Amino acid sequence: MLTGFTPRLLAALLWLLVSLSNAQGATLPEPSGRVLLTVSGAIASTNVGGEARFDRAMLEALPSRVIETHTPWHRGNGRFEGPLIRGLLEIVGVDGDHVHIRALDDFEAEVPVADLHSYDVILAMTRNAEPLGIREFGPLFVLYPFDAHPELLNEAVRFRSVWHVERIIVP
């Protein structure tokens, strides 16, 4: 065992290696903690049984983004943080025009990949520096930057803003 390295640092180093290798079908590091997110379907990079599984440390090792915004579901402004979904999809090698995002309760929404490139849509993991619990739409929540782009305040985008995310399926 390597001493002096935290699991988060090791995960970040492994992500860097995977990100730098442009080889299709790269193997991702395996999660060492409880899996929060599974990406399955037409992906190029996997780590467990043909899927890409991520624990909290792996998701935290991805480049993150902060979005300060109001949402239709929260009181007041919130400071949300998490990885850009387009960055996550790039790491697992998605080459499609949409993905399906599924919640713990099996709710599922189709999200156009174009949305993820047009806007900084994140997989929020924290709100106001606190991890999102189940009662706070967590542990993972698809969050669009509503205040920065008022055109996003519509029924279609609200439907795509899945909370309690557990899986991304790439057709």
Q: What is the CATH number of the domain that holds 75?
A: 3.90.420.10
Report the number of distinct structural domains present in the chain: 1
Give bridge partners of residue 51 from the DSSP assignment.
Answer: 48
Q: Mean pLDDT across the stretch 36-46? A: 97
Task: Evaluate whether residue 39 is within a structural domain.
Answer: no
Amino acid at 54: F
The pair of structure tokens assigned to 129 is 């520096």
In a domain, residue 5? The reply is no
Containing structural domain, residue 100: 59-170
Which pLDDT tens digit goes with each residue over 45-95? 999 999 999 999 999 999 899 999 999 998 889 999 999 999 999 999 999
The answer to whether the beta carbons of residues 126 and 84 sit under 8 Å apart is: no
What local confidence, expressed as pLDDT, does residue 75 receive? 87
Residue 11, pLDDT score: 52
Structure confidence at residue 7 (pLDDT): 55
Q: Residue 43 falls within a domain, yes or no?
A: no
CA distances from residue 60 to 7, 15, 77 in whole angstroms, order as listed = 11, 11, 23
